Chains A and B, each alone.
Chain A
Amino acid sequence: MERFYTFLFVAGLGCFAIAFVLSMIFPWMSLGSYHGMEYKTLEDLAARPSVEFVELSKSYPQDFAQAFGSAEPTAAAFAEALQRGRDLYVGQACWHCHSQYVRPVANEDLRFGPVSVAQEYQNALAQPHLWGTRRVGPDLSREHGKRTNDWHVAHFINPKNVVANSVMPRYDFYFSFDADGRVRPSKDALSLITYVQWLGSESGRR
């Protein structure tokens, strides 16, 4: 019994396979198209540019046109901004301090908004999911509609501008400033704000 093949096949492959079936195949079957959950591509999600995205194009027409090729907030530009925003959110490891799911306990629905359901993560912008495991800052999955674009601009430049004791790092390297002090957001800044403002919006949740 206590020989090479036992540990290679029974423990190494066998036990791993059992766990794989129970914790991967089963949830995948429960959560897949079996139960009427449809998968949304980036194009599906970005079919209608969000109010915040349109507003960004009006507030910063010059920077917007420079970033997305035209001053018009098209669906294609919206899709590009969402993907770029998500990439930065991942790249800068925002997801290690902000979670993206609301639990049905600890009054989280009162603090953040509706409890998360599986359908809202069945899309290209949640692959891989960004649930996170630590909340240094608040959950962001219900961020849509909570704050204005201006708030986010001020916050990204220096979080202490709007939250006095914030421990979030400054992301002012995504912005530049005119000679007369006007804020000039880069493409990265516009995308990041678009993505964060999109989280929890209708196109993501239904």
Chain B
Amino acid sequence: MSSSIAVPLSAAGARDEAVPLVDYGLIRAHLYAAFACLALSMLAGFLYSLQFLGYYPFTEGRLAELLSPGHVRLMHTNLVAYGWLVNGFTGMLYYVVPRLTGERVLSRGLGTLIFWAWQLILVLAAVGYLLDHGQAIEWGETPTGFRPGTFELVYVPVDALVTVGAVLVILQFMVPLYRARHQKYYVTLWYFTAGLVWLALTYLMGNVLPEWVLPGASGAAVTGLFIHDLVGLYVTPMGWGLMYFFVPLILRKPIWSHSLSVIGFWALAFFYPLGGVHHFLLSPIPDYVEFGAISTTIAIEIVVTTVIVNFFMSLRGSWDKLRTSFALRWFYTGAVMYMITCFQCAFQTTWAFQEIIHFSDWVVGHAHMIMFGTFTFWVYGVIDWLWPRVTGRRWYSTSLRSWHYWLSAIGIVLMFTILTAGGLIAGYMQKDLNPWEQIIDAQAPFWLFRTVTGALLIIGMLCQAYNMVMTAKAGKPFEEEEAPAESPEPVA
């Protein structure tokens, strides 16, 4: 385990010079699809929040049944996970994996197939939610297609299609990873190799066992593990894999400590999946299982600290780069929020915290902080760096990038604060046996403010969407040498 591993900046040993190592068309397609899903998802979240204010627009007739707030909520969470993050990460894998292994992905045709199949799956899942076919598994509501408890088909079996899609994605990227098996792997590839395996196992486990095999409390232990693993064993490894690639690339120096990278990875792999049951604490799941989940969740805090220390020490001597690189700014803001969220984890997993916060908006704030404040920020950051390279054009507008950053950063911090505060108030009022009507009244101002902060995030996202389209259409030509350390001029 030497400490002198740097990120290879260019590909070595590409086999056939005629076919480019990295397929920019596929990356572009996935990033456009990801952004479309993000826009739809944020719109759905905004719509859902209007229900809490009494301004929900669809209340009459057939539209009320199809676009009910319950259905729109499913759209919100599922489009973020399977639309925005999966599309975004897949697009970025097409860039990173061939560059680190020096091998092409399995096939370009397969890439096109995966792209269209995945978008079709998203559409089928969305239509399924509207027609009441959502499955009763949190974050895994993708329709099974079967009438519950039977094998009678009533809708497209989306779960099965997602599994096939996941297997195709794994094939696509495992081939270059396998071909590079004699090389010493860089940290990013540790996360990607394991993360791809975990994705398939997690999805199958979460969608099959509780539905067909495990009833009640034993099923709950698995759905808890599923919610947890989907974030911890797919989103987190992909996110950190990207960070380990892009941060040294932009800083133009290796990560501070290889040993800390090793600890961070193996502790995540070992401890993270053990904490799944903490999503259903103080429930009929046996106490010893809950205690196991609580202690490993606290242990994860140690992992997080090593990784965070590693990244901030890497920044030592290069802090000025935060002034010149939007990508780094997204990455490190996301890292700070990651630290806050994970620090929160170590406390909120205890029974003492659970008593008050478990069923409240505190948890919603926590989820938004990690899924938006961290992982969406990181994907934003990678897009900021990657977009000029995949379109061959310089960013259309620097001030729009700035608006995007500040609206998102301020919006998510405010949203997190509001939801946490409202959650605490509602939690204590429940314990104090206040009538439910009073609890609703007490949360009303917080819900109003939440909608406003959501609007900030949406405006920021729209700035970026417009900027991306205009860059692709009308940006000045981009050449790598032109901007060695990102944009040369300081950014707002």
B residues within 8 A CB of A107? 430-433
Q: Does B23 contact A (CB under 8 A)?
A: no
Q: Which positions 38-57 of chain A face chain B at CB distance < 8 Å?
A: 39, 42
A8 CA / B50 CA spacing, docked (Å): 45
B residues within 8 A CB of A24? 205, 209, 214, 218, 221-222, 225
- Choose among B180, B284, B289 the residue with the greatest number of A CB atoms under 10 Å from its CB: B284
Smallest CB–CB gap between B193 and chain A, Å? 4
Count, A-B residue pairs, CB within 8 A = 255
- Given known pairs A12-B194, A23-B293, the reply for A173 and B134 (CB within 8 Å) is no
A residues within 8 A CB of B363? 133-134
Q: B210-244, CB under 8 A of A: which get 1 and which 0?
A: 11001111111111110001000100000000000
Q: Does B488 contact A (CB under 8 A)?
A: no
Q: A1-32, CB under 8 A of B: which get 1 and which 0?
A: 11111011011110110111011101110111
A residues within 8 A CB of B283? 101, 103, 116, 131
Q: Does A128 contact B (CB under 8 A)?
A: yes
Query: What class of interface size applies to chain A in its complex with B?
Result: 35 or more
In the bound complex, do residue B282 and residue A90 qualify as a contact, i.e. CB atoms below 8 Å apart? no
Smallest CB–CB gap between A7 and chain B, Å? 4
A91 CA / B135 CA spacing, docked (Å): 7
**Smallest Cβ-Cβ distance to B70: which chain A residue:** A93
B residues within 8 A CB of A134? 359-360, 363-364
Query: What class of interface size applies to chain B in its complex with A?
Result: 35 or more
Smallest CB–CB gap between A142 and chain B, Å? 14
From B11-19, B183-191, B476-484, the one touching the partner chain is: B183-191
In the bound complex, do residue A167 and residue B440 qualify as a contact, i.e. CB atoms below 8 Å apart? yes
Q: Does A179 contact B (CB under 8 A)?
A: no
- Given known pairs A4-B177, A83-B148, A124-B215, the reply for A16 and B70 (CB within 8 Å) is no
B residues within 8 A CB of A118? 216-217, 284-285
Q: B145-171, CB under 8 A of A: which get 1 and which 0?
A: 000110000000000000000000000
Tell which of A120, A127, A131, A165 touches B149, judged by Cβ atoms closer than 8 Å: A127
In the bound complex, do residue A128 and residue B193 qualify as a contact, i.e. CB atoms below 8 Å apart? no
Q: Does B61 contact A (CB under 8 A)?
A: yes
Smallest CB–CB gap between A94 and chain B, Å? 7
A62 CA / B235 CA spacing, docked (Å): 53
A26 CA / B289 CA spacing, docked (Å): 8
Q: Does B109 contact A (CB under 8 A)?
A: no
In the bound complex, do residue A4 and residue B198 qualify as a contact, i.e. CB atoms below 8 Å apart? no
A23 CA / B292 CA spacing, docked (Å): 9
In the bound complex, do residue B276 and residue A23 qualify as a contact, i.e. CB atoms below 8 Å apart? yes
Q: Does A206 contact B (CB under 8 A)?
A: no
A residues near B, CB below 8 A? 1-5, 7-8, 10-13, 15-16, 18-20, 22-24, 26-28, 30-32, 39, 42, 83, 86-88, 90-97, 99, 101, 103-108, 110-111, 116-118, 120-124, 126-138, 163-167, 169-170, 172-173
Pick 5 A–B contacts, CB within 8 A, sort by A: A24-B221, A121-B215, A128-B137, A167-B440, A170-B64
The 9 closest A-B pairs by CB, nearest first: A121-B216, A91-B132, A12-B197, A93-B70, A19-B273, A135-B359, A4-B181, A118-B284, A127-B215
